[in-house]
Structure formats: structure tokens, C-alpha cells
Structure 1
């Protein structure tokens, strides 16, 4: 009888232990929906980090990487975070924010489905307003399966607070293919012309502007030709015409032209980080152009460089990039030191024409990286004004951060890699 009691007790104990193990395995939670955990967290170990050849300023001994994420990502420079899109399924995406130095996940957004072909959408950008940073993902498409007219097309935005991950959804009716950017303190949606809408990332409020709302400067006939809303500034919309540009209700380029320039010739070519890069004709020398960096808030000229013509054709101007701390700016064959208020155009040795350089990133030490017309990687020191060719297999940084740089690489299985390498001290 005693043995039978012992056997029953043992069996009961085993069953209880098995039940406890089962609960532990399943998580043992009840009520309250948990966000899914990381699908594949970034690699952090130097032993497992993919090594690709990079410039000597970076080390492969420290960093992180993401394999198989969408090529779309954005950077919050104040919060030092990277937001990138990861696929949850064939048609669903999720935004993940990671620490730029370590790759550790800070938060994940809810999964969602873009409005149209996921081959082309969604996109992600970063925007800053009043010191607060946001990531925004967007796609463009129709509402519902039976949409038949342009009135059924919308831009769908998901805006995330970088610090908290708080997410808000904003939908804007939009009839034409949109261009969307976050180069100012608001998200600008435009048709590539004079129609636009600005989304406040804090409140989600949408403010639309038609051509009649752009407050064309008096006496500027060229402002009404090829009119385009370019960006949002703290003072209003930045708008350009065939020649001249202005901030609605703020400053006019004719009154802020750099010394020696034809005041009625300014054409903005790029906007980034509160700066406008513009091309100007010289008053007396028709062989050179003046390139100037302007403060987007005031129009004030911050630095200039002269570059021999021929000018780059309109619509093909290079993008501009700032160093992480904002001292240096590069675009194509141009490099500027905004602290010393100087600029330089990299030209051929005889000065006959600009070098076919496409400088795309620049460090806080004033070292820029880019390629030549033949896709040869180059490193250019803005202080010495000397470009140096790099080995053909070198991978160049796609984005500079305060302590790391991001590199994009595609492996033999056609998988995208986003790799962060630390900068050497």
C-alpha cells in the first residue's frame, strides 16, 4: 500500500513539473497583446560581422549588421538612431529603430501593408521639428480594391517618435504621383511643381498650398515659370522658379545673393539639414558659376565656391550631404567648410573643367568619399583639396554618423546587408 502511494505521488509530481515546463515555454502570459520579438537581431560580435573592404578610417572589429532588410532606412542624428524597414511577410513591413553605435533594438512599429506594389514602396525618411526627431514611412496608392479615379488615391504616412516609438497614421488624398521629403521641420508632399501639402510630424496636421498661395515676389516674372515647392523651412515653404527662389512670407534670393553674383540668376539645387545649395551666374565672368550654401531660415550666404562651366544640366544636380556635426557639406565636385566659410570646386589639374566627382558623404574631420565618372572610389580631403583614388573593390560609406558609418552591400545570394563599422580613433 505504501509503495502504491509513493508511485502515485511520483506520477503526480512529474505531471506538475511537465505542466510548469509547458507554461514556461509558451510564455505563461494572459491578456494584453505583446509586440512580436526581434525576427533576427543585428549581429554585434566582431567574429560574426561580415567583413567587406572599406576605407582605412573605419574598422571591421566593431560594429553591427542587418541582413535581408529593405534597402530603405533613415537616420536620426540627434538621437543617434537608425530606422530601417524589415519584411514581416511578402506584402507587410515593419519599422525597427536601432542604436546607431551598437545595433541594439530600441523599438519596433506595428506591421502594415503598403498601398501599392511593395517592389517600389514603402519609403522611409527622417524629419526634425523643435528638437524632436521622427521617422516616417510612406506609400502611395488607391483606397480599396474598387478605386477608379484619381480622387481615390492617397499618400499614407506612418510617423514615429524616435525616442518613444509612438506611431500615428496620416492619410492625405493625392491625385498625382507624389514627391515626399523631410528636409525641413515638416514632411513635404508635392507634385514636383507648385501644389503641395505639409504634414506636421508632432500633431499630424496637414496644410495644403496651391499655386495662388505661394506669394510670388514682386517683379519676378521668372518665379512664375517652372515653379516648384522645394522644402519646408522654419519660416515657410521654400519655392523656386526658372530663376530666383524664395521662402513664402520670408526672404527672397535676389536680396541674399552672394557677392559677385547676378542677383536674378539663383537656382537652388539641393536642400539638406537647414541649408540650401544654389548655383548663381557671375556678373562679369561668364566662364564660371558661383555655388553658395545659404541658411534656409534667413537666406544668408554661409560659404561659396567658384566652378568653371559647363554647368550641370537642370534636373541632374547632385544631392548634398552634411557631416554629422554639420561643419562640412559636399555635393558632386563641391566641398564646403561652413565654419571657415570657404568652399572648393575639385577641378582638373589645368583648371579647364570640374572633375567628374560625385562626393556623397563627409566626416567630421572633413574627409569626403565618392566616385568618379568611371565609378572609381575616391577619398577627398577638404582641407588639402586633394582627391585620392581608392582600390576598385572598396565599399564607400552610404551615411556618416557620429561614431560609425553605414555601408550597403549585396552578397552572392542577392541579399541586402546594412553594415555599421566604427570609425577608428
Structure 2
């Protein structure tokens, strides 16, 4: 046997003796190549996701979750993305030299899934711009979201900045790293962009917008980008107010969802004036939050109603038709919030919560949790497939409730009677596949994610 052949056999014996870790290293070395290649064959890194009988610091969770079983991500990124149909959770791992790697986990089992190749985000130009990461912006991560199109799910890591190290250039880009949720195949899309972008994935496309006239939609299947010119927004006939404060809100299966000063509509489809909920002023609709296939909107009561000055109507609409699915009435707040709570939908699409609102979409019923004077003490943050929702009273915001602020509360949306939990209990960030995902931050300011399955009945 030649010297080269003996050396090759010795290397293989060393790799086999090293076990799974050595095999994973060989796989990584052999798969290195173009960043656009599939990373499904990239071996998962077991040390980043572990399972053990109990967390190092026991976290108090609602009694409906089992404490003796759990999985843990000990150093998670600030944001995670969830592919609900496949039950996969995506998070980012920080690597040396300003690089990141996408990692996945099966929420139901806690087992690691695929992990992507390392990549470099653009260099941030301003720490105040969309929390953009990269370069000198130490401690910042790319943002994460999920999007679904034609039955396929994708994870998207996005960031904004300069794609080269030249700080003198004025060229800035929105950079999207789009992964197939099942295979891990990755595609990078770079779009020239100036000013702070907002990126969302509540529809079948990835929407990039400045909130007004500059908009683009990226197809996650092909990576193709379509700019939306201002003169193509197609305002509804007869709605003069729709031409003021025009904004693209989301991408729907039927087209772009837009809003103006006096209504909202889907381009080429329906118009809010024609789908107002019962008892509402048809010209008063204001969209507040969008979820896949659903829109939460606020309306003023019709002027002739006795509660026109004291109440408002909240409704969940089907984005395909615009028709309301369920609605409820609430007192007007003394001071309008600067930002409305995000709509959170259960994985099976049967329930929706948003702050002081809860909707049972299957039974077409809705509830508003408030005090008689219109103050809103209960804020709901998550809801599961069984209709169990979690939130907190006396919390400053939904984010505060998720971080442990206020008094934790549990309720069943079909039978909406809030039940207080013990003060030390942490509510789940979300629930999917019968597993609640909780977060806590350790003394070294590292974020931990814990998955606790629901107790068997």
C-alpha cells in the first residue's frame, strides 16, 4: 500500500474513533462550498441543544405543564422563528468574527434538526436602525421570522446595512437569508435599500417596506423580488381618504393588503367599507395587526348608536374575503396606545389573542377583558390549540408579561374566566405540538429557552 493510502486509512480510523463528533466535523468539512447550497446535510451541533431531567435553575411553569420533562437551549438568540406545521423552532448561534449560524430544533422532542452554514450579515450603519446586527454592533443579532407559501415553510434571517467593509460607501442593503424549514436549503437575497426597513412574513411573501411608499415583496420559493411602485397601489373607487397615509400592511393570498386614512383593502379584491362588522361605521376601519390569513381591525360604532362615543368594535377578518369572523365591543381607552398588541394565533388557527382581546374563531365568539372605566388590566400573550391562553394582569405590556411582569393568569378562551397563577410562575412564549416554550435570562445575561410538554390528562 502506498504511503498516501496508509495515511488516508489512518485518518479514517481516527475519525471513527472520535465518534459522532468527528463524523460531524468530517461532514462539515466535506460540505463546505457555496453559501447557496442546501445545508440539510450539515450535521446538527448537539452541545447547543440539550435535554436533561430538570433545568439548572428550576423555572416555575403553569401546573398544566410537566416539570420533570423538558429540553433546553442554554444560549439562545433574542428572537426565534417557528414553522408551525412541521413543529420546528429556528434560532441563531453566534460564531467568531461576526458570523452566525441558523440552527433548528424539533419542539415536540427537543432533538436538534439541521444546522446551516456560517454566514456574515451586513455591517450595521446605525444601532438604532431595526436592531441591525453585524460589524461593530456587538451583541446584536439578525432578526428572525417565518413565512409559508404553497404548503412550504421557510425561516428568514434578515438584517440591514452595508454588505462590504467599506464604511465610506453609502450603499446599504436589506439582506435576507431564506431557509427551507424542512431541508435547510438556503438562498440569500440582497436588496438595495435606504432608511430603516420593516420586514414581515405574515402572508405568502416576504414584505419589505418603509411604512409608506417604498415597498418590495420577495417570493420565498424563487427569491425573486418585485418592487411595488407607488402608482400601482390601486385605491378603491370613491374612497378619497384612502389616498392619504397610504401604507402596505401585508401580503395576502389575494394580493397586497393596504390601508389609508379612511379604510383598508386588498388590491384588486375587497374594500373595508363593504365588509364592516355589525353595528360599525363602514368608513372607520383601522387595521391594527396581521397574522397569516387573518386581520385584526378596530372600528367606531355607527354614529346613531348610543355607545358611539364610549366604545369601539374589534373584529377579526378573513384576509381572503375581508369578511369578519368574530367581533366584540370594548370601552375606548382614556389614552390611545402608541402601538397595538400583536395578534397571536394558535397553531391550528382556531384561536386568536391580542392584549385584552380573545377570539374563538371556530365558534365565532370574542371577548374583551377590561374594567368598567375602560382600563385594561389583563393582557394575553399566548394561546394554544386547546384554547388555553396565558397572560398577566397589571403588566405594562405583553412583552413585560412574557418577561415575568405583573400577575400571571390562565384562561380557557371558550369559557373566558381568568384564573390567577402563583406570582412566580412564568407564562409560555408560545405553545406548539403540545409543548410550551418558556424563556429566562441567567446571571450572565444569556437567554435560555425551555420546552415543557403538557401533562397527560
TM-score > 0.5 by shorter chain: yes
Residue 93 of structure 1 is aligned with which of 67, 80, 100?
100
What displacement does 1:124 show?
0.9
What displacement does 1:226 show?
2.1
User: C-alpha separation between the residues in 1 aligned to 2:51 and 2:249?
Assistant: 39
Instruction: Give the match for residue 245 of structure 2.
Output: 226
Instruction: Give the match for residue 341 of structure 1.
Output: 364
Instruction: Give the match for residue 9 of structure 1.
Output: none
User: C-alpha separation between the residues in 1 aligned to 2:112 and 2:354?
Assistant: 32
Paired residues of 1:121 and 1:138 also in contact (CA < 8 A): no
- Structure 1 pair 247/19, CA: closer, same or farther in 2 (3 Å)? closer
- Structure 1 pair 229/120, CA: closer, same or farther in 2 (3 Å)? farther
What displacement does 1:21 show?
5.4
- Structure 1 pair 37/98, CA: closer, same or farther in 2 (3 Å)? closer
User: C-alpha separation between the residues in 2 aligned to 1:19 and 1:266?
Assistant: 69
Is 1:102–2:121 an aligned residue pair? no
User: C-alpha separation between the residues in 2 aligned to 1:19 and 1:110?
Assistant: 24
SS at match of 2:202: strand
Deviates more, 1:174-183 or 1:140-149: 140-149
Q: TM-score, normalised by structure 2?
A: 0.84
Is 1:420–2:451 an aligned residue pair? yes
Which one has the largest radius of gyration? 1
Instruction: Give the match for residue 305 of structure 1.
Output: 328
User: C-alpha separation between the residues in 1 aligned to 2:356 and 2:14?
Assistant: 64
User: C-alpha separation between the residues in 2 aligned to 1:109 and 1:20?
Assistant: 25
Is 1:373–2:394 an aligned residue pair? yes
Instruction: Give the match for residue 39 of structure 2.
Output: none
SS at match of 1:184: coil
Gap regions ≥5 residues in structure 2 = 1-6, 33-41, 125-132, 396-405
Paired residues of 2:289 and 2:297 also in contact (CA < 8 A): yes
- Structure 1 pair 124/398, CA: closer, same or farther in 2 (3 Å)? same
Alignment of 1:125-274 (within 5 A): 125-146=145-166, 148=168, 150=170, 152-274=171-293
What displacement does 1:83 show?
0.7
- Give the aligned CA root-mean-square deviation in angstroms: 2.4
Paired residues of 2:296 and 2:314 also in contact (CA < 8 A): yes
Paired residues of 1:138 and 1:156 also in contact (CA < 8 A): yes
Q: TM-score, normalised by structure 1?
A: 0.90
What displacement does 1:149 show?
5.8
Is 1:359–2:359 an aligned residue pair? no
Gap regions ≥5 residues in structure 1 = 1-14
Is 1:33–2:65 an aligned residue pair? no
- Structure 1 pair 315/230, CA: closer, same or farther in 2 (3 Å)? farther
Paired residues of 2:48 and 2:75 also in contact (CA < 8 A): no
CA deviation map 1:326-382 (0-9, x unaligned) = 11111111111111111010122xx33243222110122222111223422222332
User: C-alpha separation between the residues in 2 aligned to 1:237 and 1:156?
Assistant: 22
Instruction: Give the match for residue 401 of structure 2.
Output: none
Deviates more, 1:225-234 or 1:308-317: 308-317
Residue 342 of structure 2 is aligned with which of 303, 310, 319?
319
SS at match of 1:254: helix
Matched residue count: 408
SS at match of 2:390: strand
Is 1:123–2:143 an aligned residue pair? yes
Paired residues of 2:44 and 2:113 also in contact (CA < 8 A): no
